[in-house]
Amino acid sequence: MSPAAFAPAEPEPTLFPDHEERRRIEDWLTNALIEASARVQRGPVTPTLDLSAFRAELAAYDFAAPRTLGDMLRWTIDRLQVGLVQMGNPRYFGLFNPAATFPAQCADRIASLFNPQLASSASSPVPVEIEAHVIREVGRRAGLTAPVSGHFATGGSEANYTALICALTAGHPQFATAGTQAYAGPVRFYTSRECHIAWLKIAHQAGVGRAALRLVDTDGRGQLDPLALRNMIAADRAAGHVPLMLVATAGTTGGGMVDPLDACAEIARAERLWYHVDAAWGGAALASERLRGLLQGIETADSITIDAHKWLATTMGCAMFLTTHGALLSEAFHCSTSFMPSSVSGVDPYLNSVQWSRRFLGLRLFLALCVAGWEGLGRHVERAVDVIEAIKTRLVASGWTVANESGLAVLDVLPPPGYADVRELVKRVVASGRAWVAPTSFEGRDVVRICVTHGETRESDVAELVAALNQFGASQ
């Protein structure tokens, strides 16, 4: 007897509209996003919506009564336009968050449509090859000796976590099975006080404990002090601790400073430490012939973090972990299971990284590199440095003092005497919506931190920033 014919229900039309309806909505969305982007560029940098009113509005969304997708898309764009700090505004001189490049945005759309599963090379042969190619080329650009391994990660924190896991795996053959008990004493790793402090969370989640992170003094100019590092390692060894990894930062979060990479490499070699360079933001300087010399020494690293979602301006959630120790990386993340369509060590991303299921992140940088080339990306990076120089010149001319000497696109400045203190001044500027800057501490002093992250910042934006800083600084 043949089985009864099966007629499944029609696909849920609100979730899977037909092609005509999709085309209508996609066309509307494309136009609406272009309009929104123009409004964001002209509008205030800071959120203007009343958050308590928004919470009340949101509470009414109890999902009992469906609404149309068209209405919801319009609502979402309207609220986002007034409900966040706008990285797409050229007067956002903020943290390292960029205005995303257009090729990266296109890549995101394509990845959303195909939704490839990048865990396995058998599931996604083309995406996996594209990502591996970008990793190799970026590694080559950094001067790493072939073969370069690595993968895309969700952010610098994940990539830095990967470095610690590699260091732990490399440091003792029993770590993989016994964990840190394999070591003869508590493990320690070293980075400067000016590092990105996510290292603390990384130490915590890796199970080595936050005390494993040793913050080395800086030299008064925001760079790791090699002598202080040597002394700290010696003291730790004498106390029975096990030094494991040295992290140099190439482009510190607060001041855009680059640690002495060659000196750090020498110490790491002499002390037999894993040498990681956290170039989450500053790594973008590799794109520029004019600036890449600032990262001299990065090629000696065992591993490197470079975020594409910072200065390389992809959409959010896109970083790279690069290493010359491919076999070690595979050892750190290997496992085996019968249900995966492929299990090729060193090839399948799920055997090579923290993540299992993963999004096609690398396409964003691949497309940007294809259309701009290293030269175009280099111009994007140099432009940011030139804009920072222009801001510096104008502020110095009106009595501000420069605190950091970075050749990259971060400027830390102290207001002229008689101005409001830094935190109050920044609060006023940000509240005005005219520009966004951050207060931070650099070498023990409160400074105004200005970073160029937008590829389209113009003279008028610089003038507005400088005017706002002087106006809100001077008024008491």
Ligand X SMILES: Cc1ncc(COP(=O)(O)O)c(C=O)c1O
Q: Which residue is nearest to ligand X (CB)?
A: 156
Residue 393, strand partner residues:
none
Given the complex with ligand X, which of 97 and 345 has the nearer CB atom?
Answer: 97
Strand, coil or helix: 218: strand
Contacts of 32 (CB under 8 A, 6+ apart): 73, 74, 77
> Nearest approach, Cβ of 443 to ligand X (angstroms)?
16
Q: How many CB atoms lie within 10 A of CB 91?
A: 24
The string of DSSP codes covering 252-295 is -TTT--B--HHHHHHHHHHHT-EEEEE-TTGGGGGG-TTTGGGG
CB closer to ligand X out of 278 and 446: 278
Q: Of these, 91, 188, 196, 359, which contacts ligand X (CB under 6 A)? A: 196
Instruction: Give the nearest distance from C-beta 155 to ligand X in angstroms.
Output: 3
Q: Are 216 and 228 in contact (CB under 8 A)?
A: yes
Give the binding range for ligand X (CB under 6 A) out of 105-113, 248-256, 331-339, 442-450: 248-256
Over the window 107 to 146, marking each residue x when it contacts ligand X by CB under 6 A and - when it does not, the resulting string is ----------------------------------------
**How far apart are the C-alpha atoms of 143 and 83, rounded to whole Å?**
42
Q: Which residue has the tokens 């002495």?
A: 260
Task: Tell me the C-alpha distance between 45 and 87, whole Å.
Answer: 8
Q: Segment near ligand X (CB under 6 A), from 23-31, 150-158, 420-428, 444-452?
A: 150-158
- The residue from 131, 225, 307, 461 that contacts ligand X (CB under 6 A) is 307
* Per-residue DSSP letter, 180: G
Q: Does 192 bind ligand X (CB under 6 A)?
A: no
Tell the smallest beta-carbon distance from residue 285 to ligand X (Å).
Answer: 13
Q: What residues does 117 pair with on adjacent strands? A: none
253 forms part of the interface with ligand X (CB under 6 A): yes
CB of 89 to ligand X, least distance (A): 19
- Residue 96 sits in the site that holds ligand X (CB under 6 A): yes
Stretch that binds ligand X, among 277-285, 333-341, 345-353, 466-474 (CB under 6 A): 277-285
192: nearest Cα among 253, 119, 128: 253
Which CB atom, from 189 or from 281, has the smaller least distance to ligand X?
281
Locate 142 and state its tokens. Answer: 């950094």
User: Count of CB atoms within 10 A of residue 435's CB?
Assistant: 26
Residue with tokens 């130490």: 203
For residues 253 and 470, which CB has a smaller minimum distance to ligand X in the complex? 253
Question: Is there binding between residue 412 and ligand X (CB under 6 A)?
Answer: no
Q: Could you say which of 155, 222, 415, 473 contacts ligand X (CB under 6 A)? A: 155
Q: Can you say whether residue 443 is alpha, beta or left, with left for phi > 0 and alpha for psi between -120 and 50 degrees? A: left
Using rule CB under 6 A, residue 191 touches ligand X: no
**274-278 vs 242-249, strand pairing mode:** parallel
The residues that bridge with 413 in the sheet, in sequence order, are 402, 448
Helix (H) / strand (E) containing 213: strand 213-216
- Regarding 276 and contact with ligand X (CB under 6 A), the answer is no
Q: What is the pattern of x (binds ligand X, CB under 6 A) and - over residues 317-346?
A: --x---------------------------
Q: Does 311 bind ligand X (CB under 6 A)?
A: no
Which residue's CB is nearer to ligand X, number 311 or number 360?
A: 311
DSSP E strand boundaries for 345-437: 401-402, 410-414
Size of the site for ligand X (CB under 6 A): 15
Q: Which residues bind ligand X (CB under 6 A)?
A: 96, 155-157, 160, 196, 198, 249, 251, 253, 278, 280-281, 307, 319
